[in-house]
Amino acid sequence: MDTTLVSQNRLMQSIDRRRRELSELGPCMNGSLCRRAGKCANPDCECHKGVRRHFSWQVTQAENGRTHTIYIPADMVDQVRGWTENHRKARKLMKEISALCEKYIRSAVPKLRAGLKRKARLSAAEEGNGHEQ
């Protein structure tokens, strides 16, 4: 069996496997989940003396060169963490799929060129035979 065909079949299997993984990810959210320390309104609280005491969660996203922040309620942190992890996995899988598609194309090009050269030689030989008769 042609080794190019085998490697192309393996590349397509790898692409399909990653596409299935991508379809199984679930909800995705772009951004970074961060825990932020803040100060409360009470001037007598330790947080005003440098002790980190009040924490909140947020997702930061870059959009059109600007950073946007979304407050995340404490009871949604685990869910949002999953969404941001899914987004990172999706980006990684898309990058891998793109690289595999490029490999597939590059593996097909030499075979296609060889076929075109062979056709050109055959048609040139046929033309040469037609002139001699």
pLDDT at 19: 96
**Structural domain for 21, as ranges:** 3-132
pLDDT at residue 34, as a whole number: 94
Q: What is the pLDDT of residue 3?
A: 64
Confidence (pTM): 0.71
How many domains is the chain partitioned into structurally?
1
Q: Cα separation of 22 and 92, whole Å?
A: 10
Residue 25 — φ and ψ, nearest 5°?
A: -65, -45
- pLDDT exceeds 50 at position 127: yes
Mean pLDDT of 9-35: 95
pLDDT of 35 > 50? The answer is yes
Query: For residue 51, what pLDDT band results from cuts at 50, 70 and 90?
Result: confident
Q: What is the mean pLDDT of the segment spanning 70-92?
A: 96
Span 67-81, average pLDDT: 96
CA dist 52 and 39 (Å) reads 8
